[in-house]
Amino acid sequence: MPNRDDPHQGSVFGTAVTPAPLPQAPLNDAQRLACLRLIRSANVGPVTFRELINRYGGAQQALDALPDLYSRHGGRHKYGLCPRSRAEAELEAAARCGAHPVFTIEPGYPPALAQIEAPPPLLYAIGDLALLARPAVAIVGSRRASASGLQLTRQFAGELGRAGLVIASGLARGVDGAAHKAALETGTIAVVAGGADVIYPPEHEDLHRQIGATGCVISEMPPGFRPRGKDFPRRNRIIAGISIGVLVVEAARRSGTLITARLAGELGREVFAVPGHPLDPRAEGTNHLLKTGATLTTCANDIIELINPLLKSSPGFNTPEDLGRQGHLLEPATVMEPPPRAQPLPVEDDHRSLVLDVLGPAPTTIDEIARAAELPIQIVQTIVMELDLSGQIERHGQQLVSLLPQLPGTD
């Protein structure tokens, strides 16, 4: 089965497809529980979550519709609805460790992350949630950083923090840890691959505690979740997504740091790199980034001068010049009020047959499917959502989908 949370593929410095984020409104406990049940139900990935909310107007309404949707197209997930008790247990575990759930459809979700294609529908956050509304720059690099690399990391993190920017990183050894420590006083966000309460690596137990007290630790995983190797690229995508830009201090040619840089480019973020000595393997990755389009960076002003115009044109953010004397935003990030919901177009069986006829194993955009089937895009999006829930398509990002081969013995 496809992993619906894998980041889409593309060029290192390409432009991502960024659909309009969901309208936001405060949630009560019942709505929050319904959102979690929807996210934890079978085959509901980030894109399908957004489309279900948009079509039915709320998580509970979408939950009520799921049993029928699962049965469409011969789906094999008729009992895929997340039980209420399981969702309640997860929220209780979060409350015990001080992790606050933040959904894409409520205020407080990081505005930069909300604008990417398929943002995680839910983040758990421990600490100061107000940091999530401030503009952030990620600083990432080698786990085995050199002494000069760590010194540069502390210098960049300190100066960017004093300029009013939050420092984001992945709480790993080396550059990540040095960046967090240097930004504890000005604001830092640690994005972790396991649950927000899970300490990894073990030697960062004290740093994890400090960030939880004065900064913010976030994760898309439930409390208590132990990270696996495949979870770190997903974490890296969130690091890039919450940030205006990503600074790479040191990186080998093959490293997780370069995954973060690639994802940043795919999401349309600025990628900055510190040049290194040609004979140092830890500079091979950063020097390669510079050859392929990253911005050469030797001081914090190189970053500030480039991102200031981006902040002025980005919704929900204030520029560093708009910060108060103590480094706090003078006004909160913009909260989008839900617009009047349009009545969904009716979907007929003939429409479903037309969409199935034009789908194939080659990834195709939703627009192309609608054009080939000669159907309104809203109807095609609904049918693709149904096919996703029934486990018959794979999403590839950038609005690309393909038909999965049928399993033996299925109709």
Residue 28 DSSP SS3: coil
Measured between alpha carbons, how far is 226 from 223 in angstroms, rounded to an integer?
A: 9
Does 321 have pLDDT greater than 80? no
Tokens of 359: 């789908």
Measured between alpha carbons, how far is 175 from 152 in angstroms, rounded to an integer?
A: 9
Q: Scan for tokens 């919901």, then name that residue.
A: 341
Residue 24 pLDDT: 78
Measured between alpha carbons, how far is 315 from 270 in angstroms, rounded to an integer?
A: 17
Domain's final residue, options 279, 307, 322: 322
Average pLDDT over residues 19-29: 73
Mean pLDDT (the chain, rounded): 86
Measured between alpha carbons, how far is 399 from 8 in angstroms, rounded to an integer?
A: 10
Answer whether 236's CB lies under 8 Å from 263's CB. Answer: yes
Residue 17 pLDDT: 35
Does 409 have pLDDT greater than 70? no
Residue 386 pLDDT: 86
Same domain? For 242 and 285 the reply is yes
Same domain? For 229 and 361 the reply is no
Same domain? For 106 and 54 the reply is no
pLDDT band (50, 70, 90) for residue 2: very low
Tens of pLDDT along 365-397?
Answer: 999 999 998 999 888 988 888 888 888 888 888
> How many CB atoms sit inside 10 A of residue 160's CB?
27
Residue 304 pLDDT: 95
Residue 231 DSSP SS3: helix
Q: 106-120, 125-139, 265-279, 339-353: which range is least confident on average?
A: 339-353
More confident residue, 105 or 322: 105
Q: Read off the amino acid at residue 112.
A: A
pLDDT band (50, 70, 90) for residue 338: very low
Answer whether 202's CB lies under 8 Å from 216's CB. Answer: no
Answer whether 157's CB lies under 8 Å from 189's CB. Answer: no
Average pLDDT over residues 138-149: 96
Does 168 have pLDDT greater than 70? yes
Give the bridge partners for 397, in sequence order. Answer: 400
Residue 192 pLDDT: 98
Tokens of 81: 């609805």
* Strand positions, DSSP E, 325-410: 364-365, 393-397, 400-403
Tokens of 11: 């060029």
Domain's final residue, options 322, 354, 386: 322
Average pLDDT over residues 94-107: 96
DSSP states along 180-195: HHHTTTT-EEEE-SS-
Tens of pLDDT along 172-220?
Answer: 999 999 999 999 999 999 999 999 999 999 999 999 999 999 999 999 9
Q: Residue 380 falls within a domain, yes or no?
A: yes
Residue 393 pLDDT: 87
Sheet strand arrangement including 100-103: 100-103, 122-127, 216-219, 188-191, 166-169, 136-140, 245-248, 270-273, 295-296
Minimal CA–CA distance to 176: which of 191, 193, 159?
191
Q: Residue 221 falls within a domain, yes or no?
A: yes
Does 315 have pLDDT greater than 60? no
pLDDT band (50, 70, 90) for residue 325: very low
User: End-to-end distance of the chain based on CA atoms, in angstroms?
Assistant: 17
CATH code at position 269: 3.40.50.450
Minimal CA–CA distance to 7: which of 46, 48, 52?
46
Q: Residue 1 falls within a domain, yes or no?
A: no
Domain's final residue, options 263, 288, 322: 322
Same domain? For 157 and 275 the reply is yes
Residue 316 pLDDT: 53
Q: What is the DSSP letter of 121?
A: S
Same domain? For 225 and 281 the reply is yes
Measured between alpha carbons, how far is 267 from 258 in angstroms, rounded to an integer?
A: 14
Q: Residue 29 falls within a domain, yes or no?
A: no
Q: Residue 102 falls within a domain, yes or no?
A: yes
Does 120 have pLDDT greater than 50? yes
Rg (C-alpha) for the chain, rounded Å, is: 22
Sheet strand arrangement including 364-365: 364-365, 400-403, 393-397
Tens of pLDDT along 66-90?
Answer: 988 888 766 555 568 999 999 999 9
Tokens of 101: 């759930």
Residue ranges making up the domain that contains 301:
97-322
Does 138 have pLDDT greater than 90? yes
Tens of pLDDT along 222-276?
Answer: 999 999 999 999 999 999 999 999 999 999 988 889 999 999 999 999 999 999 9
Measured between alpha carbons, how far is 295 from 312 in angstroms, rounded to an integer?
A: 20
Residue 200 pLDDT: 95
Tokens of 90: 């997860």
Average pLDDT over residues 39-63: 92
User: What is the number of domains present in the chain?
Assistant: 2
